[in-house]
Structure 1
Amino acid sequence: MELWPWLTAALLGLLLLLRLHRAANFYAKLALYCALCLAVSALASLVCLLRHGGRTVENMSIISWFVRTFKYAYGLRFEVRGRPKLDVDQPCVIISNHQSILDMMGLMEVLPRRCVQVAKRELLFLGPVGLVMYLGGVFFISRQQSSTAISVMADLSERMVRENLKVWIYPEGTRNTNGDLLPFKKGAFHLAIQAQVPIIPVVYSSFASFYNIDTKLFTSGIIRVEVLDAVPTHGLTVADVPRLMDTCHQAMRSTFLRMSKPAPENGVAEGPAAQ
């Protein structure tokens, strides 16, 4: 019995289902994203080991190249303003808002040289994903063991100055899809003050127009990214942490709300052209 007509019909039926049924399309794209993460992490880990032989921040450029290809599979486009502000040749703490698992694409799109991330320790055990993060020099902290987290951050403070590292942190501490910014946690600001390095805020516009886990929406779209001016910490002490947090939160929140407004119906872009 000839199977090809049945296979063709089944494939066409599946494609039609994905096109017509929003939830099916959402979960299919999400599953593909997870599969891409696993496959690309395994391949990138191999390249990192062959190129540099082990754990080093230099592997981040390799990882970034692989992850930046994801946007083509999903029809996503990034419009970035202020990118040169990230290319300073000095250690700094970079903070950004945290919305979904897609944030990894946004991070890698603008990741500067010699930049590492701080991530929860649980990610270390996600097979090839944990391996490639380890090889890229990611610092893992345990949310359940505050004393260990403090020790890791203290070590990181010394290393970022000694090795001229930039450190990327999500100060909200968790993913947030409520259309606003959550209150910031203190870790990134303690780190910047302890190391006496500037903080560079990076803001991503809302994903809600193309990615929404509640309504099962996952389509193509535009992600606007804006790098804000560096906030100096020279001369600040632990007593200045609340004021520093508030300054950064206000600047990022106002930028996020402005950037996340729907585009004008006539299609005219707001502001100057993206870099």
Structure 2
Amino acid sequence: MELGWLLWGAAVLLLLHFLMELSPAVNFVLRVGFYYFLFVVCSAMTAPVCILVNGGRTVKNMKIIKTVVKTFKYFFGLRFETKGLENFKVEGPAIIVSNHQSMLDMMGLMEVLPDDCVQVGKKELLYAGTVGLIMYLGGVIFINRKSTNSAKMVMAEVAKTMAADNVKVWVYPEGTRNCTGDLLPFKKGAFHLAIQAQVPVIPVVYSSFISFYNPKKSLFTSGKIKVEVLPPIETKGLTPDDVSDLTDRCYNTMRETLFKLSDLPCPSEAKDSS
């Protein structure tokens, strides 16, 4: 009986391998499924450790979570090339902003996440089973994106938390995933927060994933991701009137860096050269 199950198991694995080689769509679905499976299982296993070691919800748990998630890249053949990590070494709190491309961003986040840094995420993630639990334990701040008043109240509390707990806050200013190889317009919440708290903004840029991950083409293979942490942008002395300029400055700098890291010409530059 046991030998029969082993033979059936081997046959299924061989069939899956054959289908993955034969069909990009099957390969994509299986790799994405395995990615979610890893997160669900590892979250369930890591949550008790976080509770036992640190007693519950705290940003200190991110060190444990980071250690676990950083191993995921080996399952998918992803390599990270980082630059500028020294720019995280600012005294006191800061707002970190980065581009947001896909579900793979969680691996990229954990690859460079500095100590004492919490993330801002959509409230729906809180209800994502064991993944929501581990995010809660890691101190993630959940925002209801459908309610402007609620989001503003949460961000006001974030400003107080930054000052009281001396933590950095990681925000995705595009507001949603964007796997186009370019940046979406930035929402201004993070920049309002930075000026309100008078803390620096640290831009982080990840190269485009589209050469190895593209849901529209059912593409998910191995690849290299370049990450650059840009120099902090000071906000001391700035007022709410400067929010738009600060937003535009970060957007233009990050967009230029995105195309540089992705070895692609910036559309505006390509247009000028024609």
- TM-score strictly above 0.5: yes
Distance 1:72 1:219 in 2: 12
**Do the aligned partners of residues 28 and 233 (structure 1) sit closer, same or farther apart at CA in structure 2, a change above 3 Å counting?**
same
Which is richer in helix?
2
Match of 1:84 in 2: 86
1:156 to 132, 155, 158: 158
Distance 1:54 1:27 in 2: 35
**Matched AA of 1:36:** L
**Do the aligned partners of residues 38 and 239 (structure 1) sit closer, same or farther apart at CA in structure 2, a change above 3 Å counting?**
same
| Structure 1 stretches of 4+ moved >2 Å | 1-11
Please tell me whether the aligned partners of residues 91 and 197 of structure 1 are also in contact (alpha carbons under 8 angstroms). Answer: yes
Match of 1:142 in 2: 144
Match of 1:54 in 2: 56
State the TM-score, normalized to the length of structure 2.
0.93
Q: Secondary structure at the match of 2:233?
A: coil
Match of 2:125 in 1: 123
* Structure 1 unaligned spans of 5+: 263-275
Please tell me whether the aligned partners of residues 98 and 174 of structure 1 are also in contact (alpha carbons under 8 angstroms). Answer: yes
Distance 2:43 2:262 in 1: 31
The Cα offsets for residues 61-108 of structure 1, whole Å up to 9 and x where unpaired, read as 111111101001001010000011113331000000000000000001
Match of 2:262 in 1: 260
* Structure 2 unaligned spans of 5+: 265-274
Give the deviation of 1:13 after TM superposition.
2.1
2:29 to 10, 27, 33: 27
Distance 1:154 1:7 in 2: 54
Please tell me whether the aligned partners of residues 87 and 113 of structure 1 are also in contact (alpha carbons under 8 angstroms). Answer: no
Match of 1:205 in 2: 207
Please tell me whether the aligned partners of residues 197 and 232 of structure 1 are also in contact (alpha carbons under 8 angstroms). Answer: yes
Match of 2:267 in 1: none
Match of 2:178 in 1: 176
**Do the aligned partners of residues 150 and 17 (structure 1) sit closer, same or farther apart at CA in structure 2, a change above 3 Å counting?**
same
Q: Secondary structure at the match of 1:131?
A: helix
Distance 2:152 2:190 in 1: 11
Give the deviation of 1:158 after TM superposition.
1.1
Give the deviation of 1:148 after TM superposition.
1.3
State the TM-score, normalized to the length of structure 1.
0.92
C-alpha RMSD of the superposition: 1.3
**Matched AA of 2:49:** V
Aligned length: 262
Distance 1:19 1:87 in 2: 45
**Do the aligned partners of residues 162 and 11 (structure 1) sit closer, same or farther apart at CA in structure 2, a change above 3 Å counting?**
closer
Q: Secondary structure at the match of 2:60?
A: helix
1:105 to 104, 107, 119: 107
